[in-house]
Every structure is written in C-alpha cells, then in structure tokens.
Structure 1
C-alpha cells in the first residue's frame, strides 16, 4: 500500500517527469455525459505553475446523450472508443499521465476499466464515479491512490438545502454520518461534532477558534431530530391532519372496485328496490315486511303461487332473476376489491392527507440520497417513482417512506402525494421532460410551492428558472464537477462550508509514508484558526469520530479535517514526503497546486 501512496507524493511534488518531455500535467477523462463535460471544463480552467493542463477525453463512437459531453471543447484531444481496455488507454497516452477519471454510470464497468488502466500505468491517480458503497470500498482497497466519488452524494446536499429553504448547501454525508451546520443553541450537546466559528461579533468573525466551546456555529450530526422549532410545529400540524380516518376510508373504498362493477351493482340494486316497492304495494304490507319479502325472494327465491295476480308473478320472476345476477356481482366486487386494494397499497395510492412534508420525485442515485438525508433530518418524505423496483425503493421501504408508483407528470399522482399541502417538491428523475411536467403541474396545484428541479443542462436550468418562475433549478453535473476535478488534482474536497466571508473546506487527507506527520500524534494536526481534525481512519478500519489526541499517526491513515484553504495547503505538505533534489540537467519539477 505504501508504494501507491509514495507515487502520489511524487506527483504532488513534481518529481515525476513526462516521457515525452512535456512537463504539463496530463489528465485522461473517460465519459460521455454532462459530468464529463463539466469536469473537463474545470480541469482546463486550472492554471498550475507548469502551464495549462493537457486533457484527453475518451468518448464512445456515437453520442449517448443529447447533452454536451466535452468532445466539442477547444483544446481537448478526443479519442473515440466504445471499449475501455488497454489498447484504448495506450491510444489516449495514459502511460505517464497524472490522473485518470472514469465517469461512466456503470460501477462494474468502471472497476473493470480501472484494472485495465493499472496494467498500462501502475502509478496513476485514479478518480472513479461510483454509487455502490460496497464496490467503492473494494476499489479503494485495490487502488489506495484513488478517489471514489458519487455525483449523487456530492449534489444531494444542494437539493436538500433548497428543499428546506436554506441559503447554502451545508449538509453532507461522510463515513455513514449526515453532518450539517447549525447554531449551537439549536442542537443537543451530544450531537455537536466540532465548533466552526464565533459569530457573536459581526465585525470580527473568528473561524476554527482554539476554544471549541466558544463557537456558536457548529458542525453537528443529524440524528432524526430537526434543528429549530419550525419543523416540530409542522410535525404537529401533520399529526392533526392525519387524524382523518373517514377521508382515508372513503378514498380506499373508491379504489377497491372498478367503475364498471360499481355501476352494474348500483343498477341491479335499483331494479331490486323498485320491484320490491311494487311488490309491497301489491301485497299490501308495511315497509319492514316488504323489505323482508324482497330480500328473501331475491336471495333465496320463493315458492311459486299460481293464485297470485299476473303482475305479482312477473315481479317475483324478475326478482329471482335479479337475485341470480346479484350473487355473482357481489362475488366479483369482493374479489375485485381485494385485488385492487392490494395493488393500491403496493402502489402507494392510498395515502393519508399530509402537510409540511417534502415530495421527492425519482428514486435514482440522486433521489435516493436526497430521501435519505431528509429522513435523517426528521423531515417527513413521500416518494414518487414510475418503477416499483427503482434503485431507492428498498431503502424507502426500510425507512418507512411512502412510495407512490406512478407518473409524476400526472396531476392525480401529485394529488395522491398531497403536493398541494407539502413544504417542497424535489424533482430529480432522469427525464427532463417528466421533471418539467411535474414541476408545472405542481405549481398549478399550489402557485406558492417551493419546487427544486433537476435538469442536466445548467444553461437550460437557468432559462427554465427565468421563464417559468421556478425559483430553484439544479444541474447535478454542474454541482458535482468541481469535486471530481479537485480529486484529479489530489484535492478530495468533501464539502464547502461558507461562514460569513470565509470558506471552510471539509476534506479527507491520506498520510504518506515518510511525511512529517508520519509517526506523530493526532494533536499535531490541529492548528487554531486554520485546521481542525474531525475524524481519523486507520487503513482497513472504520472511521473513528472520537479521537485520542495522543494516538500516533501511521502511513496509510486518512485524516478528515475542516480547514481554511491556507491551512489545507499546509496540511498537504505535512502529509507528503519531502522530494529528493532533482538530478542535474533535468527540467524544473512541478510545484504543488495551491
């Protein structure tokens, strides 16, 4: 494991020279969707000391999506290949490259491509797009010098923050925990992870103070208890509105039987009622006796009576025939009702009235993350997806989140989710057309509804926001691309936390053998006002959030820190070994990117 980590240090300090004499950083990006486009643009925007980077983009022969994929960007070398194998990587000049990004939406395919790339260039910085956490952990063990990222995990906090009406996406998930920024007064003391800033004096905001107890802005863990009193009040409103069993029962009865069977039963009952009334008048009996005679005649028949008038005999025959038809209809209605009830329950169409909840449309990669984080915050969630076996369906059932199976573009589906009384609608399916229809139909039900709309094209998202008045539009690729680009540059930024005019970065930094921090205690990591340690992960072990400052740091450990940019730059120098002096006559080494 130490050898790949040592290779990373060599790249970070510029020890590694290009085989063709070109000292510019060279990155290979494999992808054919908007994420690849924005990652390439982010890489081209960097300006390291050695000059502008060289980017090679590997795309399929044919476009697989209508959105941009980067092949038309100026200054990019494009290699077309439908298979990511060793031959393709050699054509792309992977040997001697600084980094490789595998951005296809295929976890297994990306892992196979990573294994092929290792055969071409063993000493390689690898950035992989992956959703499955089990595969991600396995890939990290195979490639220690790698960053396994999920665009869903990166962009989900922005959707969650927008749904809750917050100004900045200050929620993120790391190592199995959902963390968020809050006022210390709004969270329980045991949920506080770290103090971030002292903002009591607006003229002098101090970030990462030496005394954590003095910080009024903290990083806390979400444990199902929403911060503040607003969500608690909404939960009380929801509890009151849910106590309407009559409305739920009527809605259930309407969904049990089909319309044709219902009409047939009603017509037959009307015929029986009319004939029973006529029979009662002919027999000159009161209403209770008439009801008894009618039911007995209809359900069990009646002995023939030749002495009755012709009209009474005709009514008796018709009632017997109606009885013969009524029994099968009752049986059909019961069977049909049971089947429809099971289907309605399975599809989530029978739902109580709700208020103050959040409706999430689409349980793909993004929707699953958004649903999980909202649930962590104690917000009631209702999910909609046209596929009952969507990726996030098992998690929804496990968390107890109602899942309505249907087309979110249809108004009746939105009504079943009580969109008109919801707090927000988060539309994150993979179909821009369905997303837009769902957003517009929801706005017709509630013009003041907060709608968070996912669109793949960032420019299209801005135009939709302006044209239709949908206040919040998000492009997942645009939100996630900076993190992928930062990982390519050996900067694994997990989240950015804005505090006043300061920006705090949450990142995970590996410790390389022979670095200044190798063998020192964890207490050496913290620097008041610059860096604070959040968690410590031993190689192959679980992340420890409650750390002992006396614990010794070993090579291969990963440090999760929150830091200012200058503090992070200093920490990166402390976790990488000092490069040896360059031999005489060799080009000047690259310097680490600041």
Structure 2
C-alpha cells in the first residue's frame, strides 16, 4: 500500500504531533547573554512547514548583565531557574522537544546540563557552546547526534581580518571546489563565481545586489593560479620594536623603587654628605680623604680614636648612627626595586616602544582567539586586560605576548601599550562602555587609528560609526548566532561569510516532493538582496556550477545557495511541502464491536 502524502510530508519535514497537540517544532534554549538573545530571535523568525517554532528560554532568576538575553522578546516562554537539572528541563517541556541549545559560557556546566537533558529526552538534537577543544571532543563522543560550536572561533577571523585591513579569511570546500571570499580586483575574472556585496560606500553596504557586476566583494574559486598583482604585492604588516635601550634603562630605573623609599634614601644620603663635610673640616683633611673616611665610618663604624678632637668624635658617632639607618634602607630599596622591576616588565610598563603592532583589549573567549590568530600570522600583539587571571593570560605568557594589567579606558594604559604607533586596536571586552571609552581615547592619541570595536547593539554601533568615525564595529553573537540556529534546526550550513555587520549563509537545500518550487525553473530561486543560487545537483549526479536558469527543478534536487537569514527561511518554505492537518484521535470502539 502506498504511503499517504501526509505521512510522507511528515517524515520528510520532521513534522510530528506533540503531546499537547501542537504540530510546531519546539526548541529549548539555555543562556543569558547576547548569543542566547540572537539565537532566540532568529528561531522566532524562522519559518517551518508547520508554522513558527515554539521557543522556551531558560534563564537565571536574576539578570547577570545589562545586555538583553532574550527574556523580553515576544512569543517566548521563559522558565526561571538557576540550575540546569532534570527538574528544570521537565518544567521547560524538554520531553518531546526537537532541540536543546546550551549557550552558557561555562564549558563544564554545559556538559553536565547535556547529561541531565539526555535523561529527560534521549532522542534530543543537542547544540552546545564550547570554548575548550578537548571538552568539545568529549561531548561529540558522548553525544554523536550533537553539534559543538564555539562562537569565539567563528567570529575571531572577522576581527583579525578587520584589524589587518583585509577581508575575513573565509574559505570552504563544496562540490569538489574550494571557494573563498575576495575582492573582485584581487582575483581573475574567470575565477569569480558570484557577487556578494557592494562595499564602496561604507555607510550603505549592499549584500547580494541584483547587478552582480557592481559587487566589489565576490565569491571566487581557488584554482591554484596566481592572484592579481595587487594581492601579490600586499603583505601583512610586521610589527617591529624601536631599539631604544637608553629609554628602557631610564624606565627601569624609574620603576626600581617606590617613591617613599627613594625619598628616604635621598634625604639620608644628603644628611651623610653634610656630616661628612663637617667631619672633613674638623679633621683637617682633603675632600677625597673626607669622602673615604665618611663612607668607611658610615658603613662599617670602624677606626675609633679617643685622641681625635671632640668635634671629630661627635661627627664619627653621628655618622655611625646614620649608617645604622642607611643599611636597612638600602636593603629595602633593593628588595622593593627588584619586585617593582619584575612587575613592570611583566605588565609591559617598561617595554620598549613598538610600531606596527596590534593591541588587543580583553582576553576573554574572543580576545584569546584573536590574539592567537594574529600571532600565527606573525603580527606582534600587545594585550590589555584588567584581570591578571583572565582566560587568555596564560596563553599570552606562553606566546610571549606582553600583557598590560589595567583599565583600557584610561589613556595611561593605552600609552603603555604604544597605541599611538600601533596599526590597529581590537577592543573585544564584554563591557560596551569600556570598549567605547577605550576606542575614543585611542582615537585621541591617533586620529587615523584603525579601530575594531565590539558592540552588541547594531543601531548603536552604526551611530557610533557615523558620530565618531569608528568605521568597524562587530558583534560576536550576531556573527555566530546563524550557525547555532542552523545546527539546532539540523540544517547543514556549509559556511558563514561575514560582510561588515551582515552574515551570509552558504547552505545546501533539498527540494521535497510537493514543494512550491517542485516543477518550477531555477530562475525562481534567486531573490536580489536575499538569496543567490550557486549550484544545482540532480539526484545521483555531480554538482553543476554552470546554472541554467531555464532548467526545471524536480523533487530530490539539491540547491546550493548563499543567502541572508530571512531569505533562507523563505527558501526553506518554498522547498518543503505544507503538510495536511493531522487527523484527530481515533474514536473509541463500541463495546459490541
């Protein structure tokens, strides 16, 4: 017997009737930071064949930051819980849910929550946020049907590229080809696959324009041929240190002792000098002999002589007393100086001036990744963080990166990092206020400084760009959220391409039987500004990159597209059939039957 269309659609689209009779997919999101906000917001904007998904957000009872975390979004069911355990997951309706996203910044806590969640729903689609790679591998082994992602790893290349004045190093392989994002002027025309964005006007970035020839940022194929002369001539700016040993010595001497001990030593030496002069007058010797006698008498207290004049004896006693005070002061100054000098070297206060380096403010998840990638590129880095035990502090020491402990919002701290002579400032701490103050103070030191600023609010970032001329601002959560949502929906995102503050998704979408696009030409797939078709694959055939817009789409075909989030959601609605309404529960049999 043939399978009914409704059952085929239900199996193909993942649709099933929930315990409460609601056919819409249900997702549970656990997190209380901007990443959770963007994931929930994108889920609510995602269309499925059975309607908008239901989203349950689990957050702590008290807010832990001033930024939004998703609890104020319309259409979200919020569960307040400070602990992610089985009872919390049952309250959130995890039994029968389609997916769970664990987005807290605690790697061990996320792993524990994943174990508890599997006790409630064994068949759960799990998406976990992880920073530690070893723990991430452990989660993948424990939960084969899971996606372990790092928002820092996804966003770091975009920050690094912006700091170096380059496009984000996005490259991926699909359909037997290696593709990457580049500027049109930097690649051969034959290697250009499609236009991605028009960035000639920084105030109006247009992605996926209707006129592909106007796009200066393109998706190109890596063919092994040499790039244009412009790229061949361009090299990463290598940082170099200014050789100023005298300046370094002066800074070391200045930091050798504290002010109080230094003043005490100077005063005591002045007293000894005066007493030595009086002693030389009383003994009737030359100035060189007086210096010798004064130092010996002060430091050793030797050579007592009762036959000396009374004035000389008094001076000798006073000098011996001064020597008793001078020796402890000298000892304290030496010990304090050694400690201060080592601390100054550790924090970078007496490091030589640099030029052409990159200053990274904030060694959290994203700052640590940015610092490591810049070091991989051979660019000298100076790091700033107010916390000496920051996540990336140990890595900075291993890489030999100077770490300045201090508030980056203060001009003194920025000067210690030689911001006035650096090639870029990357400000990626978790405090938007500190980030903005650091950027503005750095611009006061160098008006032409390239600033890569991390800000959460997109509208606020655009206003900052226009008001202060800070042309680059990025949100880690905004860049990484699409990949988390795609993993939660079990959609294979091939790559995420950041263009300014936009995120383009490269994905392969199957066309199911009975879908609106089934039987229509390939030209119906493209939508200017939203979706662009890259390749078309017939069932059992190789991927065709030379797309003929007149070719008819059949069920089972796969479409490789680059799209914005809204465009991808619209395309998914066009490639999946709308299932029929489920039949009601069967009526109970009568007793006589």
The equivalent of 1:61 in structure 2 is: 61
Q: CA deviation at 1:323?
A: 2.3
Pair 1:377 & 2:377 matched: yes
**Equivalences for residues 49-128 of structure 1 within 5 A:** 49-128=49-128
Which residue is 2:351 aligned to? Answer: 351
Distance 1:83 1:133 in 2: 24
Partner residue, 1:552: none
Query: 1:32, 1:60 within 8 Å by CA — same for their partners in 2?
Result: yes
Is 2:432 the partner of 1:432? yes
| CA distance in structure 2 between the aligned counterparts of 1:311 and 1:428, rounded to whole angstroms | 70
**CA RMSD after TM alignment:** 4.1
- Runs of at least 5 residues in structure 2 that lack an aligned partner in the other structure: 1-7, 174-178, 196-211, 510-539, 548-558, 564-575, 584-593
Q: Say whether the 8 Å CA contact 1:297–1:316 is kept in structure 2.
A: yes
Equivalent residues in 2 for 1:288-327 (5 A)?
Answer: 288-301=288-301, 303-305=303-305, 308=308, 310-327=310-327
Moved more, 141-150 or 296-305: 296-305
Q: Tell me the residue number matched to 2:331.
A: 331
More displaced stretch, 416-425 vs 339-348: 339-348
1:291-342 per-residue CA deviation (whole Å, 9 max, x = no partner) reads 3233223223354456655544443333332222222222221122222233
Instruction: Say whether residues 1:169 and 2:174 are aligned partners.
Output: no
Three-state SS of the structure 2 residue aligned to 1:391 is coil
Show the counterpart of 1:146: 146
Calculate the TM-score normalised by the size of structure 1. 0.72
Partners of 2:180 and 2:220 within 8 A in 1: no
Alignment partners' CA distance in 1, 2:158 and 2:249 = 38
| Alignment check: 8 A CA contact 1:18 1:96 kept | no
Q: Bigger CA drift: 481-490 or 54-63?
A: 54-63
Query: For the structure 1 residues 196 and 35, does the alpha-carbon distance in structure 2 shift closer, same or farther, using more than 3 Å as the test?
Result: same
1:14 matched residue in structure 2: 13
Check if 1:416 corresponds to 2:427.
no
- Give 1:482 deviation, angstroms: 1.8
| Corresponding residue of 1:213 | 224
Partner of 2:477: 477
**d(CA) in 2 for partners of 1:358, 1:259:** 33
Instruction: Report whether the alignment pairs 1:363 with 2:382.
Output: no
Call closer, same or farther: CA 1:286–1:526 in 2, change over 3 Å.
farther
Q: Larger deviation: 448-457 or 303-312?
A: 303-312
Report which stretch shifted further, 21-30 or 355-364: 21-30
| CA–CA separation in structure 2 for the residues paired with 1:317 and 1:413 | 49
TM-score (ref. length: structure 2): 0.72
For 1:69, what is the secondary structure of its paired residue?
Answer: coil
Q: 1:126 Cα shift?
A: 1.7
1:246-303 Cα distance to aligned partner (Å, 9 max, x none): 2112212222211111111111222223333344455554443333233223223354
Say which structure, 1 or 2, has more relative contact order (CA 8 Å, 6+ apart): 1
Instruction: Summarize the Cα distance change of 1:345–1:184 in structure 2 as closer, same or farther, 3 Å threshold.
Output: farther
- Supply the distance in 2 between the matched residues of 1:11 and 1:277 (Cα, whole angstroms): 104
Cα deviation for residue 585 of structure 1 reads 9.2
Deviation at 1:99, TM superposition (A): 2.1
Tell me, in whole angstroms, the C-alpha distance in 2 between the residues paired with 1:489 and 1:305. 97
| Alignment-derived partner of residue 160 in structure 2 | 160
Q: For 1:96-141, what per-residue CA distance to the aligned partner results, in whole angstroms no more than 9, with x for missing partners?
A: 3332212122222222222232233333322111111112111112
Deviation at 1:31, TM superposition (A): 1.9
Once the two structures are TM-superposed, the CA of residue 363 in structure 1 deviates from its matched residue by 1.1
Would you say the 8 A contact 2:507–2:561 is kept in 1?
A: no
Which whole-Å CA distance do the structure 2 matches of 1:103 and 1:279 have between them?
78
5+ residue gaps, structure 1, are: 1-8, 188-194, 218-225, 510-522, 531-561, 567-578, 588-594
Distance 1:508 1:338, change over 3 A: farther
Whether contact under 8 Å (2:181, 2:219) holds in the other structure is no
Q: Which residue number corresponds to residue 518 of structure 2? A: none
Is 2:402 the partner of 1:391?
no
8 Å CA contact 1:183, 1:216 repeated in 2: no
Residue pair 1:296, 1:302 contacting (<8 A) in 2 also: yes
Q: Judge conservation of contact 2:186–2:227 (CA < 8 Å) in 1.
A: no
Q: 2:514 corresponds to which residue?
A: none
Who is 1:231 aligned against?
236
Do the aligned partners of residues 204 and 131 (structure 1) sit closer, same or farther apart at CA in structure 2, a change above 3 Å counting?
Answer: closer
Q: Do 1:384 and 1:408's aligned partners in 2 also have CA atoms closer than 8 Å?
A: yes
Distance 1:584 1:46 in 2: 20
Q: Secondary structure at the match of 2:255?
A: helix
Counterparts of 2:10 and 2:83, CA distance in 1: 28
The verdict on how the C-alpha distance between 1:476 and 1:278 changes in structure 2, with shifts beyond 3 A counting, is: same
Q: CA deviation at 1:375?
A: 1.1
In the TM superposition, what is the alpha-carbon distance from 1:230 to its structure 2 partner?
Answer: 4.8
Deviations 1:143-199 (A, max 9, x none): 222211112112222222222233x4335899xxxx986699999xxxxxxx87699
Is the 1:347–1:388 Cα contact (8 Å) retained in structure 2? no
* Count of aligned residue pairs for this structure pair: 495
SS at match of 1:231: coil
1:271 counterpart residue number = 271
Structure 1 CA distance for aligned equivalents of residues 129 and 413 of structure 2 = 33
Contact 1:162 1:169 in 2 (8 A): yes
